[in-house]
Amino acid sequence: MPQNNFPEQQNIRFSGSPVVGADGWFESTSIASRMMEEFGMYVAKIWVNENDIPDTVLELANFDVARLIPLYKEYKAQGGIAHMEADGQTLYEAWASSQLFLRKKFSVLMNEKMPMQSIGRLSRITLLESKGIIETIVPCLLSHISDTPELNRQHETISALIYDGSFGHAISLEYFLPDSQSIVFWDPWPDRSLLCVENNSAGVAAQAWRDEKRLWVLSCEEFTRILYAIILPTADLAGTVYGEYLDSLENLQKTDLFSFFNIHEIERLRASNDFVLIQCKSGGFHEFINISFLIDPSDFVHITTLELNCNCFAQGLSSIYFAADIAKSFLLTFEQENDSGQIIELLAGLIMQVWQKT
């Protein structure tokens, strides 16, 4: 692990509230906003530490955080107040709550020179130099630039956790400005940003951006000094070595898997608000073979499934060879590692065992 300039510290917390009143809330926060914020803090600081969080595409798509409201009310009725501490969230809590509230997989890119802390059950984290992190996320921010001068804030949340050696804070990255090599960000702090020169000990000096409320701009070089971690949708990292491989259904339909086995769509089912399940059949032995693809609104495939009915193996050698061949082609099409040979050998042995028992 590279040396850093900060003391080793466990459980650095980010996004604590300013101590304005006895309860540490912003003065202008409405009652409704405070109720939602309190529930969010319960989920992030209590529930995620006591429960296994959903971590697959389908688990997250089918998860409804509102189902936790009765548990939250029971917790409060029993006098629970731990969630009200105005000290912010740990890295793990921030990642887990992002997944739960936005119902999709998130990944973490962490500055390897920052002090390490407990990451709990954080399933997707990569350690990089801060410059490498900035270089990785810039294409994500570039994709959010609008053709109009107005800021496009319709993209997915990309959160940045920052740390100057004494305090941790969380901001949302909005926009990359290539001419000045700087990043526009949104700071929830109600006054001047905590990244303004008078509010931090790292010497960075954020400037107001276009007189937009709570929007500030900071150079990429300055960001490298204080960047602790980035939390962003895993899908944003597709095509990088840090993301999960995703391909579009259109591209898959051009592969030999589709053409040779005459795979064709028979039905589309709404799996959730964000995902569609496409059910397909093969040209041969179609009554024994089911194929499905779970796609998002951008046509990217997240889950692929091949089901071989055991009755297929009772149709003779031709069906056995067909099942083995389509299974082999299926694996090769979606193979990401270099162990496909071992997988195929294992599969062939399994198919032969099933055939001998039918």
Q: List per-residue pLDDT tens for the chain, 358 residues long.
A: 334 454 445 578 887 655 444 445 555 567 777 788 889 889 999 999 999 999 887 788 788 999 999 999 999 999 988 777 777 889 999 999 999 999 888 999 999 999 888 776 888 999 999 999 999 988 878 655 544 444 444 456 799 999 998 889 999 998 888 888 999 999 988 788 999 999 998 999 999 998 777 899 999 999 999 999 999 988 788 767 777 766 788 888 988 889 999 999 999 988 766 778 899 999 988 888 899 888 888 788 877 888 887 776 667 777 877 888 888 888 777 754 444 444 555 555 555 555 555 5
Question: pTM for the whole thing?
Answer: 0.69
The pLDDT value given to residue 276: 86
The pLDDT value given to residue 166: 85
The pLDDT value given to residue 338: 40
Contact call for residues 209 and 184 (beta carbons, < 8 A): yes
Return the ∠ at Cα 317 (arms to 312 and 322), rounded to 5°: 60
Domains in the chain: boundaries:
31-237, 247-357
Question: Can you list the pairs that 77-83 forms with residues at least 24 positions away whose Cβ atoms lie under 8 Å?
Answer: 80/42, 80/46, 82/45, 82/46, 83/38, 83/41, 83/42, 83/44, 83/45, 83/46
User: What's the Cα-to-Cα distance from 332 to each of 241, 341, 353, rounded to whole Å?
Assistant: 20, 9, 22
The pLDDT value given to residue 220: 95
